[in-house]
Amino acid sequence: MAGKLFSRISVAQHTSVGDLWVIIDSRVYDVSSFASVHPGGLAVLADREIGPRRHLGCFHDLCVLSPSLAGQDVTEQFFSLHRAEVLDRYSHLQIGILEDERPSKDPILPPGYSILIHKAGIETPGESLSGVPYADPTWLSPGYHTPYYKDHHRRFQVAVRKFVEEVVFPDAQICERGDGRPSQEVIDELCRLNILAMKVGPGKHLEGRVLMDGIISLEQFDAFHELILTQEFARLHARGYSDGLGGGTIIGLPPVISFAEPPLRDRIVQDALSGKKPICLAVTEAFAGSDVQGLRCRAMKVKGGWVVNGTKKWITNSMWAHYFTTACKADNGEIVVLVIERGEGVQTRPIKTAYASGAAGTGYIMFDNVWVPDGNRLGAGHPGLNIILQNFNHERWILTSHSIAGQRIIFEECFKWATQRKVFGKPLSSQPVVRQKLAGMISRVESCQSWLENITYQMVKMSSKEQAKHLAGQIAFLKMHATKGAQITAADAVQILGGRALTQTGMGRFIEHNHRTSLIDAVGGGSEAVLGDLGVRQALRSMPPQVRM
């Protein structure tokens, strides 16, 4: 709310004992009654003096607060101690605004942004883009060109960012801190807009669906829309929650779509994409990690089906999943992939991990003599190992996209901090060592994004067979490269923010969260060394034998 108009002089003159008005970012706040409950303490806002009257919620009769900051412009002190969102949360304290001044939170974007926003068909300028240099990829930055993205991608990006900021972000922040499951309202919205269906990627499961309230058509949808979805959702600063929003479906459903018999496929697709009966991918085990050949979960062939015994570990969304796309070892040593439904003999228990595993539904699964009908076997006649491996490329591409977008928002945090934080009277950005760290962040994120877009373009153009042949190595290398960079960025960001980056509240909380969780993308879907090795082994296989130096 804007409230009354004040001049700087009238605010400065308003300094009677017990009254505490301050100016922050051209807005005038009356913090008189708030001072005693200020989380940063009363003392920083007002000096305590001994006197006869009671003020500012102090119950000591002889204690008077002289308003030491009263009437002052405390913008600089405020922003070196609080995130800008604090002002939104406490907007009820605002009593007015300075005449002829404009708060910086009503952003004036650099020239060029309004054209992009106009192209995307957005009415309210400034709503969609950051304006901080390098805080958005080049295709969203004025003056740059792109061979990949069309106007419908821009429209889509704007709608997704708005949805993420307004509907998902508040829920994400609550759940990530409290370890709670994403709220059903958000899941329902995600399903209604078919965001969950789009996150699974292009394919048959999208037929007949209206995408994002019709902002794009089915014919337009491609891997770049999926990339936009993944990267916009990475902006939540909530890694566990982000996986909680259908992470299991994204990797557990594709094998069903590709290899299940139509009646089973249609039922599971309907159940999973409506959010009613979630699905997850159950491959990794305590014994075997993601070494599929070493799996110990047994499927014994019996008349009309299979009996499964064994365990699975680190399974995203398993805590609330109804379906489990499960890799098992048959008696003959072959890998079989079975869709197991929650019921008799299936038990899950939560696992505590570095991120909000409660929000991600990460669990340990125990199968105890679970009966699975023959019809629930995926891809009879196909080697089970291939079904699992085929799925890995898509999963790794998603994790990579997430990691790169995550690094970008961390850079944005650091860049803002480096310009607003003053040390010895100068902004942090005046220190060459800080600029070096920022340079590293920018160059890592920009190079990875360009490589990622190239791979995504190949995904649009190639058949799934061609993708399996040509992209497994490319994706493996990029994932390895991007997540190694993510760890350098995470550590450098902590150095820039200092002690603030070690606490889960306050200015540096997103940096702390990123530092704690950036390894998730580095390990999930195959760790760095494994992926690098995979890529080189693939390259060795296609090396022409006659080549000599």
Residues of this chain that bind ligand HEM (CB under 6 A): 22, 24, 29, 31, 38-40, 44-45, 69, 74, 77-78, 81-83, 86, 90, 93, 505-506
Cβ proximity to ligand HEM: between 369 and 503 the closer is: 503
Cβ proximity of 434 and 428 under 8 Å: yes
**What's the distance, CA 446 to chain centroid?**
18
Closest CA to 309 of 298, 293, 300: 298
Cβ proximity to ligand HEM: between 23 and 190 the closer is: 23
Cβ proximity to ligand HEM: between 31 and 388 the closer is: 31
Residue with smallest beta-carbon separation from ligand HEM: 40
What residues pair up with 307 in beta bridges, in sequence order?
Answer: 300, 371
CA distances, 93 to each of 88, 102, 273, 336, 369 (Å)? 10, 18, 43, 62, 61
Shortest distance (Å) from residue 101 CB to ligand HEM: 17
Shortest distance (Å) from residue 542 CB to ligand HEM: 54
Half-sphere exposure of 224 (CA within 13 A, CB side): 23
Shortest distance (Å) from residue 2 CB to ligand HEM: 15
Token readout for 351 is 């696992």
Alpha carbon distance 234, 86 (integer Å): 22
Cβ proximity to ligand HEM: between 87 and 319 the closer is: 87
Write down the residue that tokens 């072959």 correspond to: 334
Shortest distance (Å) from residue 298 CB to ligand HEM: 52
Write down the residue that tokens 């039922």 correspond to: 267
Shortest distance (Å) from residue 499 CB to ligand HEM: 8
What residues pair up with 28 in beta bridges, in sequence order?
Answer: 23, 96
Cβ proximity to ligand HEM: between 419 and 504 the closer is: 504
Cβ proximity to ligand HEM: between 22 and 337 the closer is: 22
DSSP letters spanning 98-126: ETT---TTS--PPTTHHHHHHHTT-SSTT
Alpha carbon distance 358, 167 (integer Å): 20
Cβ proximity to ligand HEM: between 27 and 199 the closer is: 27
Shortest distance (Å) from residue 22 CB to ligand HEM: 6
Shortest distance (Å) from residue 476 CB to ligand HEM: 41
Cβ proximity to ligand HEM: between 152 and 509 the closer is: 509
The distance between the two most distant Cα atoms of the chain, rounded to a whole number of Å, is 97
CA distances, 174 to each of 237, 406, 433 (Å)? 11, 19, 35
Dihedral sign from CA coordinates of 226, 229, 234, 235: positive
Cβ proximity to ligand HEM: between 29 and 233 the closer is: 29
Cβ proximity to ligand HEM: between 44 and 351 the closer is: 44
Dihedral sign from CA coordinates of 224, 230, 234, 236: positive
Cβ proximity of 458 and 471 under 8 Å: yes
Cβ proximity to ligand HEM: between 58 and 442 the closer is: 58
Cβ proximity to ligand HEM: between 85 and 466 the closer is: 85
Instruction: List, in sequence order, every beta strand (DSSP E) within 360-486.
Output: 363-373, 377-378, 422-423, 426-427
Shortest distance (Å) from residue 34 CB to ligand HEM: 6
Cβ proximity of 363 and 369 under 8 Å: no
Cβ proximity of 285 and 405 under 8 Å: no
Torsion of CA 515, 517, 522, 526, to 10 degrees: 160
Cβ proximity to ligand HEM: between 26 and 348 the closer is: 26
Alpha carbon distance 307, 369 (integer Å): 6
Shortest distance (Å) from residue 418 CB to ligand HEM: 18
Shortest distance (Å) from residue 416 CB to ligand HEM: 15
Shortest distance (Å) from residue 92 CB to ligand HEM: 10
Cβ proximity to ligand HEM: between 45 and 234 the closer is: 45
Dihedral sign from CA coordinates of 124, 130, 133, 137: negative
Shortest distance (Å) from residue 239 CB to ligand HEM: 21
Crossing angle of helices 509-517/384-420, nearest 10°? 150
Token readout for 26 is 């051209």
Shortest distance (Å) from residue 75 CB to ligand HEM: 9
Shortest distance (Å) from residue 90 CB to ligand HEM: 4
Single-letter amino acid code for the residue at 529: A
Burial of 39 (0-12, 13-18, 19+ CB in 10 A): exposed
